[in-house]
Amino acid sequence: MSYLDLSSVHLMVSAGRCDPESREWLLALSSTGPAREAARDRLYALLLRIARGEVHRRGGGPFRIAGPESDDVAHQAAADALLAIETKLDQFRGESRFTTWAYKFVMFEVSRTLGRHFWRRPHASMDVEAWERLPDRFGLDPARESEWRDLLAALRRAVDEVLTDRQRQIFVAIVLNAVPLDTLVEELGASRNAIYKMLFDARRKIRVALVANGYADPQGLRAR
């Protein structure tokens, strides 16, 4: 079984759109037999190294992953990235080095794999409306509550009145419960782009409501 549109790969190589190293990768991965297997092995080793580095780099983030679990994530991400690369090889246009394009899939797979790990945290929830966390989420000083209390009350009213149910669900999960967006991708079966767009629209609508009620102007938020 071939994943590849070999004609487009060979067309790009023959048209000289790739640097020499990228050309080698393309030709080896679109070949057959031992040459292809050797290239796959070499690419997997590279992807695994990048995935390990990336999981380590993100270790301090919301997923708090370390030790053997961290290596499992790296292996999973590298394997899934290799599969994605082989499937999409004919989409490589030579606009960057082949390895840069390939490493991009490692980033996507690390994000996706880590997104699934969030629910392993105790007390993780996406539906609880913990409004008391809002000041801390945005670094508001409790000692100055008198200055932001009305603003946050207006924000909460805007969430109640202007958001759709889906926008509200996304807002509550991401803003109040600090659920990572990539975790919602897995949970809701929607794309990252779709969830980002829903949150984008929610942010815009909340701001419009705050402006209409005198809590913001083009320069920014303000006390009324």
Partner 1 sequence: MSDWTELDRFLQTDPRDVGCDRAMELLHVYVEMVAADADAAERHPGVAVHLKACGPCSEDFSGLLAAVTEGES
Rule CB under 8 A: which residues touch partner 1?
50, 53-54, 57-58, 61, 95-97, 99-101, 103-104, 106-108, 110-111, 138-141, 144, 147-148, 151, 155, 175, 180-182, 191-193, 196-197, 200, 203-204, 206-207, 210, 216, 220-221, 223
Collapsing DSSP states into helix, strand and coil, what is residue 90?
helix
Q: Return the number of the residue (9 or 154) whose C-beta is nearest partner 1.
A: 154
Residue (35 or 212) nearer to partner 1, CB: 212
- Pairing assessment for the beta strands 220-221 and 216-217 based on DSSP bridges: antiparallel
Nearer to partner 1, 24 or 35 (CB): 24
* Residue 220, helix vs strand vs coil: strand
For residue 12, give every residue at least 6 positions away whose Cβ sits within 8 Å of its Cβ, in sequence order, or none: 18, 26, 92, 93, 94
Based on CB atoms, which residue is closest to partner 1, 25 or 148? 148
Least spacing, CB of residue 37 vs partner 1, in Å: 24
**Residue 34 C-beta: closest distance to partner 1, Å:** 26
Shortest reach from residue 63's CB to partner 1, in Å: 11
For partner 1, which is the closer residue by CB, 31 or 59? 59
d(CA 110, CA 156): 34
Distance CA 102, CA 9 (A): 15
**Whole-number minimum distance, CB 106 to partner 1, in Å?**
7
- Residues 107, 135 contacting (CB under 8 angstroms): no
- H/E stretch holding 206: helix 192-212
